[in-house]
Copies of this chain bind each other. A is one copy, B any other.
Amino acid sequence: MGITLEQAETAIKAAKEKAKAIGTLMNIAVVDAGANLTAFVRMDGAWLGSVDIAQKKAKTARYFDMPSGEIGKLSQPGGSLYNIEHSNGGLITFPGGIPIKNSDGEIIGAIGVSGSTVENDHAVAQAGVDALS
């Protein structure tokens, strides 16, 4: 099913370090190629509501094989995917979810981060992705 626990933990470790470096408290989730949860951590004091959002961002990124924020551009009123968030038990379509690829460019999972601004969430998720590339 793609990503290993060791890889997921490598991504989470890098994401946590990025979160600390920019002074944020994050929830970080990694799902595998089947969009099933592989690993998760909530930094002490991070928002409780982000437990679910981090996981939903990771799933959204893997469900559509693109960053969660790309879906959000299309799900606005009048957009082609308006209210797609109602599917799949709830999607989160703002930034913070990013697919994870292996060295062959194949998607092996995704990471989702929640706990700060969406820009920070995305940056921390990217740090997790970069740790595996």
Chain A interface size, as a band, is 35 or more
Contacts of A49 in B (CB 8 A): 59-60, 63-64, 87-88, 91
Each complex incorporates copies of this chain amounting to 4
| A residues lining the B interface (CB < 8 Å) | 1, 4-6, 8-9, 32-44, 47-53, 56, 59-60, 62-65, 72, 75-78, 80-95, 117-118
Pairs A-B, 8 closest by C-beta atoms: A34-B34, A49-B63, A40-B40, A86-B90, A85-B86, A83-B85, A80-B118, A52-B88
Q: Is B76 a contact partner of A78 (Cβ separation < 8 A)?
A: yes
Alpha-carbon distance between A1 and B60 when the two chains are bound, in angstroms = 17
Q: Is A36 a contact partner of B37 (Cβ separation < 8 A)?
A: no
